[in-house]
Amino acid sequence: MKTLLIGEYRDGKLLESTYELLGFADQLGAESALLLVGSESQLPAYSGTLYIADAATCGEYNPDLHKQLVLNAVQQENPDYIVFLHSSYGWDLAPRVAASLKAAQISEIIAFADGSFEVGCCNAKMRRSVKPNSSTTVLTVQAGAFPALQAGGTPTVRKLTADVTSPLEFLGYEPAEKKDVDLGKAEIIVSAGRGIGKKDNVPVILALAKALGGELGASRPVVDAGWVEHSHQVGTTGQTVSPKLYVACGISGAIQHLAGMKKSDFILAINKDKDAPIGEIADVLVVADVMQFVPALTAKIAA
């Protein structure tokens, strides 16, 4: 069994998440080759074959160019699996490669068994087992689902080029909004999710954060709705946190949120839905109406 792993490199840096692909290939027990649009001056700690295209020449991510580079490597390598991270890079590029090869794509896998892959669905509440019907299969693996593996060594480098005209042009990066709160250093975080119901209820969550001497956090829907500023957002597109205590108020537990807070020492979740995926990682799940339970808890702590 052979895998071609598509690593990530952005703005002059090899992304650490690339090593999760190596961890996945190792668990799969597959022979692997790695592809990177990166720099030979920054080789990954890896002893297999590395297909490398020069990022200085290629520029930042262009889907049409990267697709062609992957297809060129596929032709040389003839892999059973072409593996991406399920990231903004992976979910953008993987379907293009799959469509070109008319290969099955299975997205955001979290486990595998006997040629079948396990993926989350219905907001991570349920799982599906999926089998490819094609000989080559494109996979995207969920960030954090497979531990990173840095086996060390120096790769055997094979250079890759492609000449592509694309209707798409990269214009530049916009840095993340300035954080007025550094949740990464907070010891206690009390986060509001959609389950709080409305913007007017945010002060209730803030009151608990104050009573505990912590900071206010928020899930993505609450930030998108304009209830809480983005600088408080916890998750893949917000801040990654690891406080001593994380209180999730009315947060169902979408994967993107869990990825940002699952390393917390102790997780207390309050949710009226007993089956909410936050329950999978919470140390304590209180099945209750947030707007009834939280004020009562705050009053007791403040007393």
Partner 1 sequence: MKLLVCIKQVPDLESRFKPDAAGVWYNETDLAFRMNEYDEYAVEQAVQLREKLGDGCELTVLSIGPDRVVEAIKKALAMGCDNAAHIQDSAASSKDPWQIASIISAYAKDKGFDIIFTGMQSQDRGSAQVGVTVAEQLGLACTTTITSFDYDNGTITAKRELEGGIKAAVKLKTPALVTCQLGLNIPRYPTLPNIMKAKKKEITAIAVADLLKEAALSTTTSFHPPAKKGGGIVLEGDVADLVEKVIAILKDKTAVLR
Q: Which of 41, 163, 200, 274 binds partner 1 (CB under 8 A)?
A: 274
Using rule CB under 8 A, residue 91 touches partner 1: yes
User: Shortest approach of partner 1 to residue 243 CB, angstroms?
Assistant: 9
User: Shortest approach of partner 1 to residue 49 CB, angstroms?
Assistant: 27
Using rule CB under 8 A, residue 245 touches partner 1: yes
Task: Using alpha carbons, list the distances in angstroms from residue 267 to 147, 247, 278, 281, 285.
Answer: 21, 6, 9, 7, 8
Using rule CB under 8 A, residue 204 touches partner 1: no
Q: Which of 40, 48, 80, 100 binds partner 1 (CB under 8 A)?
A: 100
Cα torsion 177, 231, 222, 234 to 10°: value is 110
User: Shortest approach of partner 1 to residue 13 CB, angstroms?
Assistant: 12
Q: Which of 28, 43, 45, 104 binds partner 1 (CB under 8 A)?
A: 104
Stretch that binds partner 1, among 50-58, 68-76, 129-137, 198-206 (CB under 8 A): 129-137
Using rule CB under 8 A, residue 128 touches partner 1: yes
Both tokens of 166, joined, read: 């694309």
List the one residue out of 224, 195, 171, 200 whose CA is nearest residue 293: 195
Cα torsion 102, 107, 111, 113 to 10°: value is -30
Q: Which of 126, 151, 157, 302 binds partner 1 (CB under 8 A)?
A: 126
Interaction residues for partner 1, span 30-89 (CB under 8 A): 60-61, 63, 86-88
**Residues 55 and 38 sit within 8 Å (Cβ to Cβ):** yes
Which residue's CB is nearer to partner 1, number 147 or number 153? Answer: 147
List the one residue out of 88, 104, 83 whose CA is nearest residue 7: 83
**Residues 113 and 57 sit within 8 Å (Cβ to Cβ):** no
Using rule CB under 8 A, residue 163 touches partner 1: no
User: Shortest approach of partner 1 to residue 44 CB, angstroms?
Assistant: 18
List the one residue out of 223, 226, 224, 220 whose CA is nearest residue 260: 220
Q: Which of 236, 249, 251, 257 binds partner 1 (CB under 8 A)?
A: 236
C-alpha angle 83-31-12 in degrees, rounded to nearest 5: 50
